[in-house]
Amino acid sequence: MNEMLRSLRQLHPFLKPNRRNLFLSLLSTVLSVIFNALWPVTMGLIVTEITRALTQHRAVNFNYVLQVIGVILIFALGYQVSLFFSQYLMTLTVQRSMAGMRHALDKKINMLPVNYFDKHQLGNLLSRFTNDVDAITNALQQGLIQAVNSVSGITVAVIMMFTINWLMALIALWMIPATLLVSKVILKKSQPYFDGQQNTLGQLNATVQENFTGFTEVQAYGHEQKTMAAFHEVNQNLTQYGFKAAFISGILMPLVSAIAYITYAVMATIGGIFVLRGVIPIGNLQAFIQYIWQVNQPLASLTQISSILQAGQAATKRVMEVLNEPNETQTGIQQHLPKPVRGKIEFKNVSFSYQADKPLIKNLTFTATPGSTVAIVGPTGAGKTTLINLLLRFYEINAGEILLDGVDTKQVARQELRSEFGMVLQDTWLYKDTIANNIRFGKLKASDYEVVDAAKTANIDYYVHTLPKGYQTMISSEADNVSQGQKQLMTIARAIIADPAIMILDEATSSVDTRLEQMLQQAMDKIMAGRTSFVIAHRLSTIRNADLILVMQHGEIIEQGNHVQLMAKNGFYAQLYNSQFEDADAIES
């Protein structure tokens, strides 16, 4: 119970903006309970009148009976109307509150550091947006009204029981602590399985998402059985958690019902004795038994929805884990970059590690002059991509300095810093919208003329005009209605329209045919002209004209210089180059 109250407190910020509707909903719930509690004692008046008429051998006072029936109908109408408003307002409150929660999650995702996504599976995060929010919605929509209805219903019913006979009421009340004790034990046993169920559901979503994303690779390598086995393992875990959660929580309802039946039997016996002795009229006994039902029914209802409440509690814990994650630190606010940015980049003795005992970048030092092209080469795991991540402050360095036009990037707000960079990656990202808006993503306020001009510069305008709808052609949700090369040309157009001071090109031409590679290279040459550019590539043919080539290995720069200088050294770079171009050089010679 304490855990559920804590979960409700955590949801308070989302419920607070809708507190007026929430209050009116709860007020309507209380009114429905009061109307529902009045009719048993009113019905008892009819039973008493008829019983007395029979025992006194007189006619039943039908005028009195009809008046009482009229009052019962008014109570019934009041109950139904208040119940309708209670459910309507609660639905409105919960849906608006959960919309606020989804908005908060979306906002939070954009404020988290990059390393958070390195540590968490995408499918698991998606599950918190969807499955967990749905579980909270169900718990609030069904549980909140039921909780208020139960507490107020039990309170009013107990008061009415005491007005009939205080001794009978005291005897009957044993069922409340007995039910609460049983519920506490059962819920404590079942809650870990509900937590496990929600967590495993997130793992299942992550597994499915990974299998779908890598479907082609799975088929190509013939690993269908392996992925099926991994899915089967997670699915079995989910089944076990679900079964244990449902089974243990399902024990609660029969136990509560048993307590209620024992109470009915005991109170019917005691009440019958009291009626025979003239302590209470028979109509009051009938009303008392109904009030016992009105106490038991809310308790039983709470046990029936306990599984929903526990799932909501587990989901709340998972959602709050995301919302309580520390944001990306905003330390850099002391200085602004000089305008316009020239693009001089300096790394001075920069060191970085993901783990304290495993350094990745060690004493990295180099200078990129404004407008120069810097190529970064090296084997997989050498630290090439990490260097770019440090430049963009996706990660904070452990030691040293990174300067942009003489300003320490740690002292500059991340948003201001990143606005000076454009990126063209091998793994292109397009979203479901028109081609024009995908290009305009680099500059949201760009005019149609600017979009077309950028597309022409990127050599994609001709292709767009071959489409029936031109720039208004919709990119599909997976961007599978355009080729890989066309995607890269569009991302180049996006970078062009952003007009950044510094360009980052990450193996942007490593997966296209020769003709498209030439088009891409021409487009990149245009966008790199006059800008400081960083190029990460394994195919050294694309970087022979670079002003500076950084050769990295194990997080260190082992060689640097231009192509001619590095070939003259006959070191690691020369070995890489010769291994790729030995045959071509032999043919040329």
In DSSP notation, 164-211 reads: H-HHHHHHHTTHHHHHHHHHHHHHHHHHHHHHHHHHHHHHHHHHHHHH
Instruction: Cite the DSSP H helix spans in 222-281.
Output: 224-250, 252-276
The residue among 341 and 586 whose pLDDT is bigger is 341
Q: What is the mean pLDDT of residues 29-46?
A: 81
* 175-213 and 282-304 helices, crossing angle to 10°: 30
Q: What is the mean pLDDT of residues 196-217?
A: 72
Q: What is the mean pLDDT of residues 135-163?
A: 82
Reported as a pLDDT band with limits 50, 70 and 90, residue 67 is: confident
At 246-262, the pLDDT tens digits run: 888 778 778 877 887 88
The span from the CA of 311 to the CA of 136, in Å, is 8
**Taking the CB of residue 311, how many other CB atoms lie within 10 A of it?**
24
pLDDT at 588: 47
The span from the CA of 493 to the CA of 464, in Å, is 12
- Per-residue pLDDT for 416 more than 70? yes
| Beta-strand pair 358-368/345-355 | antiparallel
- Per-residue pLDDT for 583 more than 60? no
- Per-residue pLDDT for 81 more than 90? yes
Reported as a pLDDT band with limits 50, 70 and 90, residue 3 is: low
Q: What is the mean pLDDT of residues 286-290?
A: 81
Query: Using an 8 Å Cβ cutoff, are 318 and 370 in contact?
Result: no
Residue pointed to by tokens 């989302």: 14
Lowest-confidence region among 12-16, 30-34, 512-516: 512-516
Q: What is the mean pLDDT of residues 390-419?
A: 87
Query: Using an 8 Å Cβ cutoff, are 205 and 134 in contact?
Result: no
Q: What is the mean pLDDT of residues 551-568?
A: 87
The residue among 331 and 235 whose pLDDT is bigger is 235
Reported as a pLDDT band with limits 50, 70 and 90, residue 512 is: low
- Length in residues, the chain: 589
Sequence spans of domains, the chain: 2-323, 334-413+534-589
At 16-25, the pLDDT tens digits run: 898 899 889 8
pLDDT at 587: 44
The pair of three-digit structure tokens given for residue 577, joined into one six-digit string: 């180059």
pLDDT at 304: 67
**Taking the CB of residue 243, how many other CB atoms lie within 10 A of it?**
12
pLDDT at 77: 92
Q: What is the mean pLDDT of residues 549-558?
A: 85
At 102-140, the pLDDT tens digits run: 888 888 888 888 777 777 777 778 888 888 888 888 888
The CATH H-level (homologous superfamily) assignment of domain 2-323 is: ABC transporter type 1, transmembrane domain (1.20.1560.10)
The span from the CA of 205 to the CA of 496, in Å, is 37
Q: What is the CA radius of gyration of the chain?
A: 36
pLDDT at 345: 92
Reported as a pLDDT band with limits 50, 70 and 90, residue 49 is: confident
| Element holding 471 (H helix, E strand) | none
CA dihedral 247, 249, 250, 251 (to 10 degrees): 100
- Per-residue pLDDT for 586 more than 70? no
* 2-15 and 62-109 helices, crossing angle to 10°: 80
At 443-488, the pLDDT tens digits run: 888 899 999 998 998 888 888 888 888 889 888 766 667 777 788 8
DSSP SS3 for 224: helix
CA 485 to chain centre: 32
At 160-200, the pLDDT tens digits run: 888 888 888 888 888 778 877 887 788 778 878 888 887 88
The span from the CA of 213 to the CA of 206, in Å, is 10
pLDDT at 333: 63
CA 407 to chain centre: 37
Do the two domains 2-323 and 334-413+534-589 of this chain adopt the same fold? no
| Element holding 394 (H helix, E strand) | none
The pair of three-digit structure tokens given for residue 109, joined into one six-digit string: 């995702």
Please, what is the average pLDDT of the chain? 81
Q: Residue by residue, what is the 3-state secondary structure of 272-305?
A: HHHHHCCCCCHHHHHHHHHHHHHHHHHHHHHHHC
The closest of 408, 388, 419, 405 to 534, measured between CA atoms, is: 388
Burial class (CB in 10 A: 0-12, 13-18, 19+), 144: buried
Q: What is the mean pLDDT of residues 554-569?
A: 87
Q: What is the mean pLDDT of residues 233-251?
A: 83
| Element holding 552 (H helix, E strand) | strand 548-553
- Per-residue pLDDT for 332 more than 60? no
- Per-residue pLDDT for 513 more than 80? no
Share of the chain above pLDDT 70, in %: 91
pLDDT at 589: 44
pLDDT at 212: 64
CATH 3.40.50.300 applies to domain 334-413+534-589: yes
Share of the chain above pLDDT 90, in %: 5
Question: Using a CB cutoff of 8 Å and minimum separation of 24, what contacts does 541-548 make?
Answer: 541/580, 541/581, 542/509, 543/373, 543/375, 543/377, 545/373, 546/373, 546/374, 546/375, 547/369, 547/372, 547/373, 547/374, 548/366, 548/368, 548/372, 548/373, 548/374, 548/375
pLDDT at 24: 92
The closest of 552, 510, 203 to 364, measured between CA atoms, is: 552
For residue 331, report the phi and psi dihedrals to the nearest 5 degrees.
Answer: -80, -30
Ranges assigned E (strand) in 333-485: 345-355, 358-368, 373-377, 399-404, 407-408, 421-425
